[in-house]
Amino acid sequence: MAVFVALFLAIAGVAGALTATADSPEIALENPEVDVSESESIDVDGESYVVADISETENDEGQMIISGVLEREFTAETSETWANDSTVSLDDREWRVEVTGENATEFTLVEVLDRQAILEGDENAENETVTLDDGEYVAVTDDSGERTLVPVDEYFPAPEERSHATGETLEYDGQTVTVDEVTADGAVLVWETTETETVEVAQESIVTIEGTDYVAHFPDTSTLRMSTDIEAYETQTAEIDRFNQYNSGLSRVFILSVLSSIMLAGMAFIPSRY
């Protein structure tokens, strides 16, 4: 019994020593194409990306996970179609789009008068027009109290008109836009805008940038490294998996050996029936 106890203790000692002294392999990207810190920029196929953020958060399992964000600003062309006979807002006023002819090369913006606001602003005019058999009128009362009906075409000012041909520019919604095309259906306006592309980077994830695959690694909370040598990365992760598997096996051997030793030692003190 003593021999077996000593044997199990020896096995437990060896397993414990191997578990305690073994160094866990770590991910180490050799000569990575990207090795930057937060706020620094990288160039990929002529495109510039900025490391906008590197942060550490706690996941659902209570583990601290490092992740980052790459951002790239680029210019994109935006277009908008103004349909014929539609209404658009420009310079804080409403305008009606008019296109004349099937082969038109320009369109006209006709101001849509706010007749109600004009009537309400004239203390001598009634707030509603009067419709008779021969047309529409505005009722105006002069200083002597005499009420006169004025045809709406004479009372309201002539609407402003603006014509724009293909290739011309105009200010719209804070942008300088270009008339790209005019058809019988309407006008197409184009302009350039600055947009931002965001790339989320997780720890030891595969990130595709400009058609190239990179493996991402954060050695600390301030550094991002990315490498196209994904095969070498996968080899290292396989080594880590094997290490964890062997280490877990040794831990189980240690526990079983200690428990077996205790059980055998306890059995030695059980009194014999004979």
pLDDT of residue 210: 85
pLDDT of residue 273 exceeding 60: no
pLDDT of residue 252: 64
Q: Would you call 180 helix, strand, or coil by DSSP?
A: strand
Q: Any idea what the Cα angle at residue 229 is, between residues 227 and 234, rounded to 5°?
A: 105
Query: Residue range 206-211: average pLDDT?
Result: 88
Mean pLDDT, the chain, rounded, equals 82
Is 250 part of a structural domain of the chain?
Answer: yes
E-strand ranges in the chain read 34-37, 41-44, 47-58, 64-83, 87-90, 93-98, 106-111, 130-132, 135-141, 147-151, 161-165, 169-172, 175-183, 186-202, 206-209, 212-220, 223-227
Which residue, of 127, 158, 189, is where some domain finishes?
158
Query: Residue range 89-107: average pLDDT?
Result: 93
Which residue, of 130, 158, 186, is where some domain finishes?
158
Q: 251 is in which domain, residue-wise?
A: 1-30+232-274
pLDDT of residue 263: 63
pLDDT tens profile 242-271: 556 656 654 665 566 556 556 656 666 666
Is 89 part of a structural domain of the chain?
Answer: no
pLDDT tens profile 155-185: 999 999 999 999 999 999 889 999 999 999 9
**Domain tally, the chain:** 2
pLDDT of residue 5: 46
Is 108 part of a structural domain of the chain?
Answer: no
